[in-house]
Amino acid sequence: MSTSLGILAIILWGALALLGNLTKSIPAFQLLFMCFVISFLLLFIKRVLSKQALFTAPTLSLTQTVIGITGLFGFHFCYFMALKYAPLIEVSLIVYLWPLLLGVFVAKAASKLNAILGGLLGFIGIAFLISDGSSFSISTQYGLGYLFAASCALLWSSYSFMMSGFDNHVDDIGWLSLYVAALAFLAHIYFETTVISFTVNELLGIVLLGLGPVGGAFYLWDSALKRGNKTLLASLSFLTPLLSTIILVLAKQISFSWSVVFALAFVLVGAAISNVKPASNKNSEPV
């Protein structure tokens, strides 16, 4: 069941590109602020529905809170900065090193090689998908953007790994969302100009993002990593850009490409290799 929650989070992240298209005219940090406010409100909606006390102290320690804020806000900040200083394709490729890193982080010593081989196969599939089979190059003039993109991969994989080992309640994601919303608001004031009026589609996009890929998905991911199959979730995370592409094709916003099939094959084979258990290992991970 817990692993299923993580897979649902991955599916929600797959909808990010489509929903992002609805809100692309909204400044990035302003949008992030609004989405994380919705994420924070989800905490109280959940408590009302489950008839719990509305206000209870977070269970995260100060160190854990800093790690949570750094992961959630740091990832998005570095991603926006990466896009500012480097092309989208190269940024996307570097950022999607995070499932590979997470797979290596969570793998047991005897399974490290499988995690690396499986992660590399998944990454090759996603690289082909993102580039659509065309060539791409790494240029030193985009060095700062690449550094921000690499920071994204390291931050999110580290955040996921460390949060999976904490014994905090999943409700703490709501409090982290409040802190991230505050930081996003400050970044918006510093970097951007406020947009006040929104279309109906933009409002719908904001709400759906906050309920899903930039809000609700973080609750699901936290719960799944604590009690689910972390190795499987790491390898299946490569499906995120693949799902984004499929959803955009179904929404008729882009044309179908056989690179989708190629990428899917590599991701699934990579996931299978990553999850092969050593012969001497009698215990399986929870599902």
Q: Which residue has the higher pLDDT, 21 or 76?
A: 76
11: in domain: yes
Above 50 in pLDDT, residue 35? yes
279: in domain: no
215: in domain: yes
- Residue 53 is predicted with a pLDDT of 81
284: in domain: no
Interatomic CA distance for residues 229 and 106, integer angstroms? 10
Residue 186 sits in which domain range? Answer: 2-274
Whether 247 and 21 have beta carbons less than 8 Å apart is answered as: no
- Indicate the length of the chain as a whole number: 287
- Residue 87 is predicted with a pLDDT of 85
Reading the block at residue 107, the tokens are 């793998």
Least confident of 80-84, 250-254, 267-271: 250-254
283: in domain: no
Whether 274 and 234 have beta carbons less than 8 Å apart is answered as: yes
282: in domain: no
286: in domain: no
Q: Is 51 exposed, middle or buried (0-12, 13-18, 19+ CB in 10 A)?
A: exposed
82: in domain: yes
Give me the chain's average pLDDT, please.
89
Interatomic CA distance for residues 134 and 280, integer angstroms? 43
Look at the chain and report how many structural domains it folds into. 1
Helix (H), strand (E) at residue 210: helix 200-211
- pLDDT above 70 coverage of the chain, percent: 94
- Residue 282 is predicted with a pLDDT of 47
